[in-house]
């Protein structure tokens, strides 16, 4: 049975492999915590905020994120694809998400603000109305993704093929048009 934790603040905790397991955290705030060694089993975060936390390489396959905010966090090589999909809602600001995977997730309305997102996997991901505000999307993969009304106006270094994604009413800057044409070997000057 999961241990329920409500409205607590956690500072500078380095979680061991199983320390967070079988916990439900609601309206909790985490500061400078290290989750990189975690192998989450039956962990739920509801209305929680992570500030300056490290998730690099953590195994979050059996975790639920329900309206969770990540601020100034390092989340390198993390596979979100196996998370609990019920009410999955995450938002990222000033985070490093390099090599992370969001394969097949529904990320409708998610915000990525000023994030470094090198080689992130968005294959078959629903990114309807997602905002990529000042995000570096170098080598990020968009394949069979739903990008309806997605906002790329201030994103940069992205390449995506409109013929292999649904991009209806997506927003792009003039400078970003090059990223839409790169796979077609069209040169824009």
Tens of pLDDT along 43-93?
Answer: 999 999 999 999 999 999 889 999 999 999 999 999 999 999 989 999 999
Residue 172 belongs to domain spanning: 102-189
Residue 143 has pLDDT above 90, yes or no: yes
Please report which helix (H) or strand (E) contains residue 86, including its range. Answer: strand 84-93
Q: What are phi and psi of 134, to 5 degrees?
A: 60, 45
Residue 178 has pLDDT above 80, yes or no: no
Q: Are residues 165 and 179 in the same domain?
A: yes
Mark which of 96, 119, 147 sits at the end of a domain.
Answer: 96
Exposure of 4 by Cβ count < 10 A (0-12 exposed, 13-18 middle, 19+ buried)? exposed
The band of 180, judged by pLDDT with boundaries at 50, 70 and 90, is: low
Q: Are residues 82 and 33 in the same domain?
A: yes
Encode pLDDT of 86-98 as tens digits: 899 999 999 999 9
Q: What is the CATH number of the domain that holds 137?
A: 2.160.20.80
Residue 186 has pLDDT above 60, yes or no: no
Average pLDDT, the chain: 93
Q: Are residues 126 and 82 in the same domain?
A: no
Which residue, 45, 89, 44, 84, is CA-closest to 61? Answer: 84
Q: How many structural domains is the chain composed of?
A: 2
- What pTM was estimated for this model as a whole? 0.92
The band of 175, judged by pLDDT with boundaries at 50, 70 and 90, is: confident
Mark which of 44, 68, 96 sits at the end of a domain.
Answer: 96
Q: Are residues 30 and 90 in the same domain?
A: yes
């Amino acid at each position: 049975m999961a241990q329920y934790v409500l409205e607590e603040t956690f500072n500078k905790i380095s979680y061991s492999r199983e320390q967070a397991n079988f916990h439900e955290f609601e309206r909790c705030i985490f500061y400078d915590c290290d989750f990189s060694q975690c192998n989450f089993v039956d962990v739920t975060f509801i209305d929680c905020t992570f500030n300056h936390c490290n998730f690099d390489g953590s195994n979050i396959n059996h975790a639920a994120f329900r309206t969770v905010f990540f601020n100034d966090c390092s989340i390198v090589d993390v596979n979100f694809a196996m998370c609990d999909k019920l009410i999955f809602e995450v938002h990222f600001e000033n985070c490093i998400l390099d090599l992370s995977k969001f394969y097949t997730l529904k990320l409708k309305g998610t915000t990525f603000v000023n994030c470094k997102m090198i080689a992130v996997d968005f294959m078959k991901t629903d990114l309807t109305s997602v905002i990529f505000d000042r995000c570096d999307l170098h080598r990020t993969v968009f394949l069979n993704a739903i990008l309806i009304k997605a906002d790329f106006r201030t994103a940069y270094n992205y390449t995506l093929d409109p013929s292999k994604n649904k991009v209806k009413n997506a927003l792009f800057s003039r400078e970003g048009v090059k990223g839409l044409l790169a796979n077609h070997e069209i040169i824009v000057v």
